[in-house]
Structure 1
Amino acid sequence: MSAPSDPAPNSSDYVSDVAAFRQDFRQYLRRLDCADAWRSAAFPSAEEGLAHDATVMARLHADNWIRYGWPEVVGGLGGTEIHRAVLYEELGQAMLPIPAQAWTLEVMAPATLKFAPHLAGEYLPNYLNGSEWWGQGFSEPDSGSDLASLRTRATEDGDGFVVNGQKIWTSQGGTAKRLCVLVRTGTPESRHRGLSMLLIDTDAPGLTVRPIALASGRRELAEVFFDDVRVPANRLVGEVGGGWAVTMFLMQYERGMYGYAALNKVLMELGRLRQYMVDRAVGQAARERFARVYVDVITAQARAATTVRKLAAGEAVGPESSIDKLLCSEAERAVNDLILDVARDHMMVNAAGAEAAELDTARAEWWYSRAATIMGGTAEVQRGIIADHILGLPKERRAS
């Protein structure tokens, strides 16, 4: 990315006038000198893709645009979740991929701001400018959606904690600078009441990160091992035993802001597919399927927009966030399935040069979408939450 040019004004005007923010950011993207390179960027590995996206974050930060929607304590310029949602919308409209670091930023930054403002002020400015990013250390080999059964233990020892255990399926874990780790500080029987959240550096002595190669060959996830890892007491996010409250707050953003950004990404992919279909004059059946998938995506987006507005207003989002998660994950899978089926002959070829990287990226997106209805809470779990806490349906009878 080249040096900053045509930056957003550092003023309060955009904070109070979201429409002006949208209009001027749209014009900025039209004039951006690196837009074409950004739009067509493709890389053969997850690590190279993240390195490229970090330069995108740095450019948007240097030009001030990505700083809106975040408070000044983390290097922001004010505003709310609405500003961030508009930024994602306009990137999608301009057919520009959202930087991958934005996904994890949306999940972990709000919780850090609320429960550990001292850590937010120290570290989130570097997250916002793309010079570091974090991973979310929740899942364990024997604990997927049932977070209350986590076994990675943090023992209080002097002025800090000693952590032992293992995490798995950590997104961006192989390149993350820090990890938000949910650990057990109470007894196993204490379930969710005995959990705490710690922010742990990945270069801490005793911490080992092993990237996981997916079916695509890309190392987008990692497993993490903790062997007597010492963590200072000031790295506690929230209170000892208060990790579940942090997690529930974080989930609102994982299913709201993350989901909204992801839906704008798949809308961008649908835009690319539409042009592909027009160029190749695909048949009526494919066009009708495209229309059905498009309706599913914008339906999910409209539902997620309601959650974004609640978050921006400071309202708590309860179990209804499971609706966002369910609709978003199913739409993401449907879009990637449609892309594969429509462009199957093209995606299966062996190409060279730039086209090889582009096709490899498209195939990797399809492989990764297989986990959309599993990661962050399975679709079955989300349906259970909706049935129990929203619809008030009778409890399922289990066989004796």
Structure 2
Amino acid sequence: MTEPFEPAAFRTALRAWLDENDLTPPPGDDSLDAHQAQHLRALKALYDAGWMRYGWPESAGGLGGPEILRAVVGEEIVGRGIDHPGPYSMLEVLTPTMIDYARPELAAEMVPRLLSGQETWCQGFSEPGSGSDLASLTTRAVQDGDRWIVNGAKVWTSFAQYANRCVLLTRTGGPEVANHEAITAFFVDLDTPGITVRPLRTMHDVDEFCEVYFDDVAVPADRMLGEPGDGWRLAMDLLPYERSTCFWQRIAYLYSRFDALIGEVRGLGTASDSDLGEAYLALHTLRCRSRATQHRLADGQKLGPDTSIDKVLLAGAEQTLYDTVRDLLPGAVELDDGAWRTEYLYSRAATIYGGTAEVQRNIIARRLLDLGKE
């Protein structure tokens, strides 16, 4: 590709390259380990060919161009089943954070490792006692010369068992400092002594989430992201990315599963188009909203509480889709031990992960509609 980076031409060129370079996952293994291996394989091939570098600044190893090119790559990769939206989404959540908050030298060194599949990172935000109430976190970092000593625990940390590093939120201020102003972020190597990672088995029987414990973990001072007290601002800047570009990828995945559902029910002859209408309408509404968000991001607008609308629509569309699967494929959820069952169970968490539906609706009511706290 050469400048200008026009998205339609970019997509056409990417599709042609993907048609010529088969990155289809190897058949027969649907385990989390296999998904992770495929994720790293896909990233390496895309990075070596340049595709994974478009939309990222040259200062961090990118090739420049508008950010919307990243959404195009994610949609094509996830929509074709080359990668799953979960591990792929971490690129869009954590890479902008590193570029915006890390020392330029650190970002230039580390970002290419993530984008090329040399490393995997995770996000250490939620805690056993502070999930949606992020400001109440208790993991503490205390300065000790040119290092900080971290103690505490994180939970619901996606893919931590595979991660080399973690973007970690800690409390550094004393009781006299307001909750939001006492939070500081660090970029922590997960092979540092004192760190223990324990996968959690969830009801969909996949160890995607982990507990991570920090016991007297020494973190170099130059691994701080931003300045002391910048952690809350970092988190607020990160969350809109979690609810924008990576949603675009998940929507592509949900559409691919909707197409698979259509194929199965038509093969059985047990459903009409009207039976699929509610799921299609929910997905289409979500896609239209997310498209507008991608273009706001592409126009240089700063995303904020408005992305809570995207999150509410995503949760609703995902659960509606899998409710439709349960209704139209009798036994696929309750009796079969296949992908539909696993994904249906995972969809129940859609109104929880990334900020609960209740919290998102409160944000919409208070910050967008100015309805107050009552």
Q: TM-score, normalised by structure 1?
A: 0.87
Give distance in 2, aligned partners of 1:348 and 1:42.
23
2:362 corresponds in structure 1 to 384
The answer as to whether partners of 2:305 and 2:367 remain within 8 angstroms in 1 is yes
Tell me how far apart the structure 2 counterparts of residues 158 and 329 of structure 1 sit (CA, whole Å).
45
TM-superposed CA distance for 1:16, in Å, is 2.5
Q: Write the mapping of 1:22-41 to structure 2, written as runs, cut at 5 A.
A: 22-35=11-24, 38=25, 41=27
Q: Distance in 2 between matches of 1:106 and 1:304?
A: 15
- Helix, strand or coil at the partner of 1:25: helix
* Partner Cα distance (2:28, 2:242) in 1: 26
**Counterpart of 1:199 in 2: which secondary structure?**
strand
- Alpha-carbon displacement from aligned partner over 1:98-150 (angstroms, at most 9, x marks no partner): 46432111101101101113322111111111121111111111101001100
RMSD (Å), alpha carbons: 2.0
Separation in structure 1 between the aligned mates of residue 107 and residue 78 of structure 2, nearest angstrom: 28
CA-CA distance at 1:340 after TM superposition: 3.4
1:309 aligned residue (292, 295, 299): 295
Give me the whole-angstrom Cα distance separating, in 2, the residues matched to 1:47 and 1:96.
15
Change over 3 Å in CA distance of 1:176–1:341 after alignment to 2 = farther
- The counterpart of 1:257, out of the listed 232, 245, 259, is 245
Counterpart Cα distance in 1 of 2:171 and 2:125: 11
Is residue 2:225 matched to residue 1:247? no
Which of 181, 193, 198 aligns to 1:193? It is 181
Q: Bigger shift: 272-281 or 41-50?
A: 41-50
Tell me the equivalent position of 2:214.
226
When residues 228 and 95 of structure 1 are mapped into structure 2, their CA distance, relative to the original with a 3 A threshold, is closer
Structure 2 unaligned blocks of 5 or more: none
After superposition, the C-alpha distances for 1:199-236 in whole angstroms (9 at most, x for unaligned) are 11111110111111111322101000000000001111
- 1:139-193 CA distance string (max 9 Å, x none): 1111010011000000111012100000001011111111111100113562111
Distance in 2, Cα, partners of 1:215 & 1:233: 39
**2:85–2:249 Cα contact (<8 Å) kept:** no
Question: 1:150·1:184 contact (CA, 8 Å) conserved in 2?
Answer: yes
- SS of the residue aligned with 2:185? strand
1:365 maps to 2:343: yes
Which residue of 1 is the match for residue 73 of structure 2? Answer: 87
Aligned residues: 372
Name 1:273's counterpart in structure 2. Answer: 261
- Partner Cα separation in structure 2 for residue 124 and residue 145 of structure 1: 28
Normalising by structure 2, we get a TM-score of 0.93
Is the counterpart of residue 338 in structure 1 residue 324 in structure 2? yes
How high is the sequence identity, in percent, across the aligned residues? Answer: 41
Task: Provide the rounded CA distance (Å) in 2 between the counterparts of 1:137 and 1:393.
Answer: 32
Aligned residue for 2:107? 120
The C-alpha deviation readout for 1:341-400, integer Å capped at 9, x for no partner, is: 3334345556xxxxx7xx2x443222222211111111001000100111111431xxxx
Of 179, 183, 198 in structure 2, the residue corresponding to residue 210 of structure 1 is: 198
Give me the whole-angstrom Cα distance separating, in 1, the residues matched to 2:78 and 2:192. Answer: 37
8 Å CA contact retained: 1:50, 1:100: no
Amino acid at match of 2:159: Q
- Whole-angstrom distance in 2 between the partners of 1:193 and 1:23: 46
Alignment partner of 2:144 out of 157, 180, 190: 157
Letter in 2 for 1:60: L
Distance 1:369 1:29, change over 3 A: same
What is the DSSP-based 3-state SS (H/G/I as helix, E as strand, rest coil) of the residue aligned with 2:122? strand
Map Cα deviations across residues 33-90 of structure 1 (whole Å, 9 max, x no partner): 344xx3x746343222111221111122222222212222333222222101112333
From 15, 20, 23, give the equivalent of 2:9: 20
Residue aligned with 2:202, SS: coil
Distance 1:74 1:41, change over 3 A: farther
Q: Which runs of 5+ in 1 are unaligned?
A: 1-10, 351-355
Structure 1 counterpart of 2:48: 62
Counterpart residue type for residue 343 of structure 2: E
The answer for the alignment partner of 1:132 in structure 2 is 119
Alignment of 1:145 with 2:136, yes or no, is no
The one-letter code sitting in structure 2 at the alignment partner of 1:23 is T
Question: Please, which of 329, 332, 353 is the counterpart of residue 375 of structure 1?
Answer: 353
Judge conservation of contact 2:38–2:83 (CA < 8 Å) in 1.
Answer: no
Letter in 2 for 1:180: V
